[in-house]
Amino acid sequence: MLQRKMIARLTAVVITLSISACGITPSVLPSGWGGWEDLGGQIKDSPTISSWSPNRLDIFARGQDDGIWHMYWDGMVWSGYESIGGSFTSAPTAISWGENRIDVFARGKDDHVWHIWWEDGWKAWEDLGGKIKDAPAVSSWGKNRLDIFARGMDDTLLHKHWTNSVWSDWEQLGGPISSGPTAVSWGPDRIDIFAGGSDGHVLHNWWDNGWGLWEDLGGQIQDNPAVSSWGANRLDLFVRGQDNAMWHMYWNGSTWSKFENLGGVITSGPAAVSWGVDRIDMLARGSDAHIWHNWWGPLNMIPSK
């Protein structure tokens, strides 16, 4: 397997160098989906993914033992799985606000939000309170800023934030919502939040020096949606449809696209992250309970399988 991966990467490098030698700029080549790959594991629900730099990916998922498991991509190979412990009742969520920093959150058996972070080593799990129904979501618009969102027991959206050295209290942002939320920040003082509505549609709200009004983006979804952003005013939204396929729509700064079917047979909500312009990495749980990975990027990019 490792030899096949290395051959694929070396082949991609040779092709890229050959294209460049012919006077073609690789960055103008068209982009496309790379194709689904099986990353193994045995997970209970949605995986999550974060990135602290180009070609760095960190994946987290709840294993069959209810603990959180972690693997990473270092730009060349996938690591093995490692346990970071705990005992949880939801999928995790993760975010990186700087190099060598990851914050991970999940719902504990007490229905509280629990938090652990990596900073030159894993720290201890801490209890952030709250009473939530399913997996939380997290976003960050800069160093030492974290915004946590979760569905409360009354189906309203809850929010808590970290600023430099202190956690805020929980606040209620309304609803109702029928799934765990997802969130992303594409710039300072900007957050976009998505969740399932009572009619199965995707609902969207945003913070831009104040909360906007919920808007209905349509669709018919089964679980929590996922969102990524590779730059200002760009959003890519992923959901599991009623047909168990992955569906995608995007915001280009002025309009929403229509939903497109990306195929697959998935058994969880998706996860997504962008580590650069025109790059998205996406995950979901397959029918075999493995983590499955797909990615969007220029054709000259070194593949990850």
Q: DSSP string covering 13-76, please?
A: HHHHHHHHHTT--GGGSPEEE---EE----BSS--EEE-SSTT-EEEEEEBTTS-EEEEEE-SS
What is the model's pLDDT at position 28?
56
Classify domain 34-297 by CATH number. 2.120.10.70
pLDDT above 70 (res 22): no
pTM here? Answer: 0.89
Over 80: is that where the pLDDT of 4 sits?
Answer: no
The answer to whether residue 151 scores a pLDDT higher than 90 is yes
Residue ranges per structural domain of the chain: 34-297
pLDDT digits (tens, 9 = 90+) for 48-75: 999 999 999 999 999 999 999 999 999 9
183 pLDDT tier (thresholds 50, 70, 90): very high
DSSP 245: -
107-118 burial, b for 16+ CB within 10 Å, e for fewer? bbeebebbbbbb
